[in-house]
């Protein structure tokens, strides 16, 4: 990692074109930021490439586009002095070297042209200040005035400026620091960590959309608890997610204690992250016990109870998603369903599993029954090896039963084998409550195993039910 020249690594055809274009308009050009960092970490070459020009980034983008086949469209953002070109699989962003100054109540800076050094020092972390020259005479040379290579080797997140300045200027950088720590497995330098704590209230000036973008990346990291622990320790989590913080703590009454549901939740999120990249299932894991704080009670006979915490938690999902500016569409409904049903398989695993109970589980969960089982398996956090093995074996039995019942009864995305229209035709009915009664009776009969999920048996059941209701069959 101590290399000083990366000419051999700059193999993409775009780099010589940038070199030529920069020379033609008389500016210096450098690739900077995440591309350089990931190159040194030997990660997969990123498709997003940031180019800084000591001069006009927009002018450089225009010259580069003129040399590319098919003359790709340039997206220009004059307010920010940036331009973007999409070329093949690449997304190239051009910006002029600049300094920034901030007002206390805004993340939007006043911008002035600057040197490369001044541009580097305004950036968030030393590992993102490193630049590689794209200029003809120095092509491939590393420019690293803030010892980014050294910090990369130490796996250390450090700000190029005094950290209070960096975080106060742009408070989103606090979230980025924690996100990089979670994604890369790096440590945040102590002074920087203290500065995040000191500036935590500044997060209020950042848009919730930008915060959630970082939080989702933390949740998608290999071990999300790393990020959430840092959010908690710095106090940021109390501003963003007080409902989650409310789960923390263990109370004892009359010698009876309950587990700390905050740290349990983080274990569940880590467990599920080992098995799925599904962001919304990870959100379900994060929120599966969110209803335990408002439902916690001590009963002298039963001890600590959290009655209906799944139902209350599912209701809380909507309010949380709305406040956090997360999507209020099918993704939110999916998380609600997972939270609401999160204890159903656990209950089945404890009892003798009946076909009827499994049919109802498959019917209610639909295509998400496998995700629900994955969530419940992730919920096993006991350190007792015998208990852990017992719970896992019980869930295997439930999964096997689901497979067996599903193969026989086809209940996922259940459609009644007899439609409302057929009921209306058979009994010469107009829309009425009797139709709903018959459809519900057919569904219940299938779920209870009284009749198979097939048309002929359901039709005969419908005739009998209609007779009970005093309905006459229409003569053909």
338 within 8 A of 375, measured Cβ to Cβ: yes
Closest CA to 128 of 140, 120, 138: 120
Cα–Cα–Cα angle for 237, 242, 244, rounded to 5 degrees = 85
- The residue ranges of every structural domain in the chain are 7-150, 420-468
For residues 49 and 316, what is the distance between their CA atoms, to the nearest angstrom? 40
Q: What is the pLDDT of residue 107?
A: 61
338 within 8 A of 365, measured Cβ to Cβ: no
Question: DSSP E strands: which ranges in 90-130?
Answer: 90-96, 98-101, 110-113
Secondary structure (H, E, C), 389-423 = HHHHHHHHHHHHHHHHHHHHHCCCCCCCCCCHHHH
For residues 204 and 278, what is the distance between their CA atoms, to the nearest angstrom? 29
Q: Is the pLDDT of residue 288 over 80?
A: yes
High-pLDDT (> 70) share of the chain, %: 95
For residues 87 and 21, what is the distance between their CA atoms, to the nearest angstrom? 16
Handedness of CA 384, 385, 386, 390 (dihedral sign): positive
Q: Is the pLDDT of residue 1 over 60?
A: no
What six digits make up the tokens of 267? 């274990």
Lowest pLDDT segment from 93-97, 300-304, 393-397: 300-304
Q: Is the pLDDT of residue 409 over 80?
A: no
Render pLDDT for 130-175 as a digit per residue (tens, 0 to 9). Answer: 999 999 999 999 999 999 999 999 999 999 999 999 999 899 999 9
Average per-residue pLDDT in the chain? 90
Which position has the higher pLDDT, 79 or 163? 163
Q: Find where tokens 């020009």 sit.
A: 53
Half-sphere exposure of 96 (CA within 13 A, CB side): 20
The arithmetic mean of pLDDT across residues 228-242, rounded, is: 96
Question: DSSP E strands: which ranges in 97-155?
Answer: 98-101, 110-113, 131-133, 142-143
What six digits make up the tokens of 131? 């630049």
Q: How many residues does the chain have?
A: 476
Render pLDDT for 100-141 as a digit per residue (tens, 0 to 9). Answer: 766 666 666 666 778 999 999 999 999 999 999 999 999 999
Q: Find where tokens 């962003």 sit.
A: 93
The arithmetic mean of pLDDT across residues 203-220, rounded, is: 96
Neighbours of 338 (CB within 10 A): 26
Handedness of CA 44, 46, 47, 51 (dihedral sign): negative
Q: Find where tokens 């074109």 sit.
A: 17
Closest CA to 232 of 256, 212, 248: 248
Q: How far is CA 262 from CA 224, 242, 258, 266, in A?
A: 13, 11, 12, 7
Q: Given pLDDT bands bounded at 50, 70 and 90, which one contains residue 254?
A: low
Q: Is the pLDDT of residue 306 over 90?
A: no
Render pLDDT for 311-359 as a digit per residue (tens, 0 to 9). Answer: 999 999 999 999 999 999 999 999 999 999 998 887 777 667 788 888 8
Q: Given pLDDT bands bounded at 50, 70 and 90, which one contains residue 251?
A: confident
Q: What is the pTM of this model?
A: 0.86
Q: Find where tokens 């200040």 sit.
A: 129
Q: Which CATH architecture has domain 7-150?
A: 2-Layer Sandwich (3.30)
206 within 8 A of 160, measured Cβ to Cβ: no
Which position has the higher pLDDT, 2 or 427? 427
The kind and range of the H/E element at 41 are: none
Provide the 3-class DSSP secondary structure of residue 217. Answer: helix
The kind and range of the H/E element at 155 are: none
For residues 126 and 260, what is the distance between their CA atoms, to the nearest angstrom? 37
The arithmetic mean of pLDDT across residues 60-69, rounded, is: 95
Which position has the higher pLDDT, 20 or 384? 20
């Amino acid at each position: 990692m101590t290399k000083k020249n990366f000419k051999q690594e700059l193999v993409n055809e775009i780099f010589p074109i940038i070199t030529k274009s920069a020379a033609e308009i008389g500016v210096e050009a450098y690739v900077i930021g995440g591309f350089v960092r990931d190159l040194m970490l030997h990660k997969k070459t990123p498709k997003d490439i940031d180019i800084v020009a000591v001069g006009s980034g927009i002018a450089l983008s225009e010259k580069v586009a003129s040399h590319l086949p098919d003359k790709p469209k340039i997206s220009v953002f004059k307010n920010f002095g940036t331009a973007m070109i999409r070329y093949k699989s690449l997304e190239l962003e051009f910006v002029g070297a600049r300094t920034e100054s901030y007002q206390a109540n805004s993340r939007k800076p006043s911008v002035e042209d600057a040197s490369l050094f001044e541009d580097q020092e305004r950036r968030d972390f030393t590992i993102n200040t490193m630049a590689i020259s794209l200029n003809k005479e120095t092509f491939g040379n590393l420019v690293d005035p803030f010892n980014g290579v050294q910090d990369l080797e130490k796996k250390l997140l450090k700000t190029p400026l005094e950290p209070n300045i960096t975080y106060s200027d742009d408070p989103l950088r606090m979230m980025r620091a924690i996100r990089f720590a979670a994604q890369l497995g790096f440590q945040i330098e102590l002074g920087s960590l203290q500065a995040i704590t000191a500036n935590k209230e500044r997060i209020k000036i950042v848009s919730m959309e930008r915060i959630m973008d970082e939080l989702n990346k933390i949740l998608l990291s290999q071990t999300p608890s790393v990020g959430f622990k840092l959010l908690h320790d710095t106090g940021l989590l109390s501003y963003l997610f007080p409902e989650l913080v409310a789960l923390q703590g263990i109370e004892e009454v009359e010698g009876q204690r309950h587990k700390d549901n905050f740290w349990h939740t983080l274990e569940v999120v880590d467990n599920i992250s080992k098995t799925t990249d599904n962001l919304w299932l990870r959100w379900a894991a994060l929120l599966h016990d969110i209803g335990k704080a408002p439902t916690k009670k001590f009963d002298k006979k039963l001890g600590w109870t959290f009655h209906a915490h799944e139902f209350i938690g599912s209701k809380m999902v909507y309010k949380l998603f709305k406040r956090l500016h997360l999507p209020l569409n099918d993704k939110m409904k999916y998380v609600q369903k997972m939270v609401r049903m999160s204890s159903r398989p656990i209950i089945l695993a404890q009892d003798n599993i009946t076909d009827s109970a499994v049919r109802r589980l498959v019917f209610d969960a639909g295509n998400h029954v496998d995700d629900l089982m994955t969530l419940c398996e992730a919920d096993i956090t006991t350190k007792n090896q015998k208990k852990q093995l017992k719970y896992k074996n019980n869930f295997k039995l439930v999964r096997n039963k689901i497979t067996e019942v599903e193969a026989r009864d086809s209940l996922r995305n259940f459609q009644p084998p007899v439609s409302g229209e057929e009921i209306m035709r058979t009994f010469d009915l107009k829309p009425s409550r009797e139709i709903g009664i018959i459809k519900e009776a057919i569904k219940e009969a299938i779920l209870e195993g009284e009749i198979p999920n097939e048309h002929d048996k359901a039709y005969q059941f419908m005739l009998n039910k209609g007779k009970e209701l005093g309905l006459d069959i229409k003569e053909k």
